[in-house]
Copies of this chain bind each other. A is one copy, B any other.
Amino acid sequence: MVSKNQIKLISSLHQKKFRTAHGLFIAEGVKVIGELLASHFELEHLYTTENLFAEIALSKKTMVGETDLRKMSALTTANNALAVFRIPASAEITQSGLIVALDDIRDPGNLGTIIRLCDWFGVGQIACSQETADLYNPKVVQSTMGSIARVNVSYVNLEDFLVNTKMPVFGTFMDGENIYTTQLPAEGIIIMGNEANGISKAVEKYATKRIAIPRFGKLQQTESLNVATATAIILSEFRRK
Contact = CB atoms under 8 A, between A and B. Distances in A.
A53 interface: no
A219 B146 CA distance: 12
A227 to B, nearest CB: 11
Contact of A232 (B143, B147, B232): B232
A221 B117 contact: no
A35 B221 contact: yes
A155 B228 CA distance: 26
Nearest to A112: B226
Contacts of A230: 232
Contacts of A121: 215-217
A209 interface: no
Contacts of A116: 222, 225-226, 229
Interface in A187-233: 213-219, 221-226, 228-233
Interface in A100-127: 109, 113, 116-117, 119-122
Contact of A237 (B145, B228, B236): B236
A150 B217 contact: yes
A240 B229 CA distance: 16
Given A226-B113, A232-B225, A232-B232, A217 B180 contact: no
B221 A150 contact: yes
Contact of A216 (B145, B233, B239): B239
B233 A236 contact: yes
A146 to B, nearest CB: 8
Contacts of A120: 215-217, 222, 225
A17 interface: no
Given A113-B228, A146-B221, A180-B241, 17 more contacts: A109-B109, A116-B225, A116-B226, A117-B229, A119-B217, A119-B222, A122-B218, A145-B223, A146-B223, A150-B219, A214-B239, A216-B239, A225-B232, A228-B228, A228-B229, A232-B232, A233-B233
